A and B are shown apart, each in its own frame.
Chain A
Amino acid sequence: MSRNPVAAAAADIDEVVRFDAVSMRYGRGAEVLRDISFSLAPGSFHFITGPSGAGKSSLLKLIYLAAQPSAGEIRLFGEDLARTPTRRWPELRRRMGLVFQDLLLLDHLTAFDNAAAPLRIAGARPSDYRADVAELLAWVGLGARMGAFPPELAGGEKQRLAIARAVVARPQILLADEPTSNVDAQAALRIYRLFVELNRLGTTVLIATHDQDLVARSGRPALHLEGGRLAWRAPQGPAAA
């Protein structure tokens, strides 16, 4: 993987993500996030931790524009979302890479087609990205599985394919929701190392996880959610990567 040019462009802004007193509720229910404030600098690496139901996925949803806050202000790449028309959301989403808890791979497409999807959506020509996608899949350890369909892949392979799809378009920020929840410890470590490598290339990384061991070993800062409220946690140990 070469140096990430999009991440380099992100260096022009002070914060990739900024939350100011953000709250969120689903419908008329109780608030699942309350008065959340934080910011992520370009090239930073953070975890979001907390027990199940603490609001980790909801916080990520707010960032990737799948939910809206009930109060507060969110800025993405320096833009105030409240003032950004929804027709510009796809453009903002193309600057993010998403790894979902349930992966959301398209079962009728090969690993290669799944990984190439964001580039096709962005309007790139196959001849321009064919080699890059192959290189990326090899980089995540799927060089021999490019023609396989998701149902034919093992759990760890699917996770890595989802990561490849998330980073193929060189996003400025990578958001991952429990990316190691369905794999063994060894595969989890391998996935984590992929994230670290991406971060070294300049991508801002934010990972939601309940894997406290992984967080502790990583030595990375964590945004800890408890009952919808946020508490910063400093690095707890040496980096595992």
Chain B
Amino acid sequence: MSEAFDVARWRPAPFLPERETRDRALVFVVAVLCYLACVTGLAVIAADRAASGWSRQLSSEVTVIVRGGAGLTPDAAAAAAAETLAGVPGVSEARALEARKAYDLVRPWIGDVAEVEELPVPRLVAVSLDRKRPPDAATLRRALKAQGLDAIVDDHSLWLKDVRRAAGIARGLAAVVFLLVAAAAGAVAASATRAGLAAQRPVVEVLRLAGAEEGFIAGLFQARFARAAALAGTIGAGAAALTGAALRLAGGGEGLTPALPFAWVDLLAVLPCPVLAALVAGLAARLAVRRIGDGTP
């Protein structure tokens, strides 16, 4: 070996051993945690989108129950209500539903009745609102009253409140789980980094006693462990993206389920994972080198 040594072609070798079994363990553990963090992150995004969708849908629709009007049949009253509401600023569309739909709504309580048309069932008017400047329920009520129509405006506010609360809880829980998994990934990365660093303590000692600055030593370890964590983050994020893609494909156009919509663009959310893992591991290495200290009391 020594006979083949060529001084002219010599290049400095890395101060730290290039391959360590310990590094593989670090990569594996951090990759698994990064995977879990990314999958949870994707679930947070899907939950957020679902919550926003439910709220948007409920707040942009109003149902008006028309009980009648002076001298008007129920169908005529519903038509008049739809016409009135369509003229209110902020209303995109007002459509009187067919009488059959109103009967369908009460059928579970009254059962199949032969001549349902003769029953005094109120008619329904579905109102779509402009999402940018929707009128409130009171404005709609005033417009209907001005035409002498007997109607109830249901703006879904009760439902909306419940849905928003439920969505907020789901969103918050998912975010907490994500933060916990991300924190665990960071802690494991830091711990594994410190363990790897402890194994290299003799190298640290030699470098320090040879006059190496703290920054020089920290830089060596920072670069090494940041690289290992970045690799782990890439593996974890890649696996999470594949999982997300599989769920998107399995879920068809809705992406997973209508209740938990998932979009292709959501997969981009895993991109910061390798960088964050590298930052955490690099920072942990720097702090650990500092903690080893200067060998003096």
Interface residues of A (CB under 8 A from B): 26-27, 64-68, 86-87, 89-94, 96, 98, 100, 104, 106, 108-113, 116-118, 120-122, 126, 130-131, 133-134, 144-149, 152, 165, 169
Q: Are A98 and B209 within 8 A (Cβ)?
A: yes
Give which listed residue, A106, A121, A134, A148, contacts B212 with CB less than 8 A: A121
Which residue on B lies nearest to A126, using beta carbons?
B12
Q: Are A86 and B294 within 8 A (Cβ)?
A: yes
Task: Point out the residues of chain B lying under 8 angstroms from A118, CB to CB.
Answer: 210-211
Docked Cα-Cα span, A100 to B213, in Å, equals 20
Residue-wise interface mask of B (202-227) relative to A, using a CB-CB cutoff of 8 A (1 in contact, 0 not): 11011111111110100000000000
Q: A104-B205, A113-B12, A147-B5 are in contact. Are A94 and B295 (CB under 8 A)?
A: no
Contacts A/B (CB < 8 Å), 14 sampled: A27-B297, A65-B294, A67-B296, A68-B296, A89-B294, A90-B208, A92-B211, A106-B206, A108-B18, A121-B207, A126-B11, A145-B2, A147-B2, A148-B2
Q: Are A146 and B296 within 8 A (Cβ)?
A: no
- Report A201 CB to chain B, min CB distance, Å: 20
Docked Cα-Cα span, A126 to B212, in Å, equals 17
Whether a CB of chain A sits under 8 angstroms from the CB of B3 is: yes
Q: Are B1 and A148 within 8 A (Cβ)?
A: yes
Give which listed residue, B5, B214, B216, contacts A112 with CB less than 8 A: B5
Task: Point out the residues of chain A lying under 8 angstroms from B3, CB to CB.
Answer: 144, 147
Task: Point out the residues of chain A lying under 8 angstroms from B212, CB to CB.
Answer: 90, 121
Whether a CB of chain A sits under 8 angstroms from the CB of B110 is: no
Docked Cα-Cα span, A116 to B12, in Å, equals 8
Question: Is chain B's interface secondary structure helix, strand, loop, or mixed overall?
Answer: loop
Docked Cα-Cα span, A116 to B214, in Å, equals 19
Q: A94-B211, A121-B216 are in contact. Are A147 and B4 (CB under 8 A)?
A: yes
Task: Point out the residues of chain A lying under 8 angstroms from B15, CB to CB.
Answer: 106, 109, 117, 120
Which residue on A lies nearest to B216, using beta carbons?
A121
- Report A108 CB to chain B, min CB distance, Å: 4
Q: Are A112 and B10 within 8 A (Cβ)?
A: yes
Whether a CB of chain A sits under 8 angstroms from the CB of B7 is: yes
Q: Are A93 and B209 within 8 A (Cβ)?
A: yes
Whether a CB of chain A sits under 8 angstroms from the CB of B17 is: yes
Contact-residue bracket for chain B: 20 to 34
Task: Point out the residues of chain B lying under 8 angstroms from A100, CB to CB.
Answer: 209
Docked Cα-Cα span, A134 to B12, in Å, equals 13
Docked Cα-Cα span, A210 to B209, in Å, equals 23
Task: Point out the residues of chain B lying under 8 angstroms from A90, CB to CB.
Answer: 208, 211-214
Give which listed residue, A106, A126, A152, contacts B1 with CB less than 8 A: A152
Q: Which residues of chain B from 168 to 202 have a CB within 8 Å of any chain A CB?
A: 202
Docked Cα-Cα span, A174 to B8, in Å, equals 29
Residue-wise interface mask of B (72-116) relative to A, using a CB-CB cutoff of 8 A (1 in contact, 0 not): 000000000000000000000000000000000000000000000
- Report A125 CB to chain B, min CB distance, Å: 10
Which residue on A lies nearest to B7, using beta carbons?
A134
Q: Which of B4, B11, B296 counts the most chain A CB atoms within 10 A?
A: B296
- Report A167 CB to chain B, min CB distance, Å: 12
Give which listed residue, B4, B209, B216, contacts A66 with CB less than 8 A: B209
Which residue on A lies nearest to B6, using beta carbons?
A147
Whether a CB of chain A sits under 8 angstroms from the CB of B13 is: yes
- Report A91 CB to chain B, min CB distance, Å: 7
The 10 closest A-B pairs by CB, nearest first: A147-B5, A94-B211, A93-B211, A147-B2, A108-B17, A134-B7, A121-B212, A148-B2, A146-B5, A145-B2
Q: A65-B294, A111-B2 are known contacts; what are 20 more A-B pairs with Cβ within 8 Å?
A: A66-B209, A67-B296, A67-B297, A87-B214, A90-B213, A92-B211, A93-B210, A94-B210, A106-B206, A109-B15, A113-B13, A118-B210, A121-B212, A121-B216, A126-B10, A145-B2, A146-B5, A147-B3, A149-B1, A165-B210
Task: Point out the residues of chain B lying under 8 angstroms from A96, CB to CB.
Answer: 211
Docked Cα-Cα span, A87 to B208, in Å, equals 12
Q: A146-B2, A147-B4, A147-B5 are in contact. Are A122 and B296 (CB under 8 A)?
A: no
Q: Are A117 and B2 within 8 A (Cβ)?
A: no
Residue-wise interface mask of B (37-70) relative to A, using a CB-CB cutoff of 8 A (1 in contact, 0 not): 0000000000000000000000000000000000
Task: Point out the residues of chain A lying under 8 angstroms from B1, CB to CB.
Answer: 147-149, 152
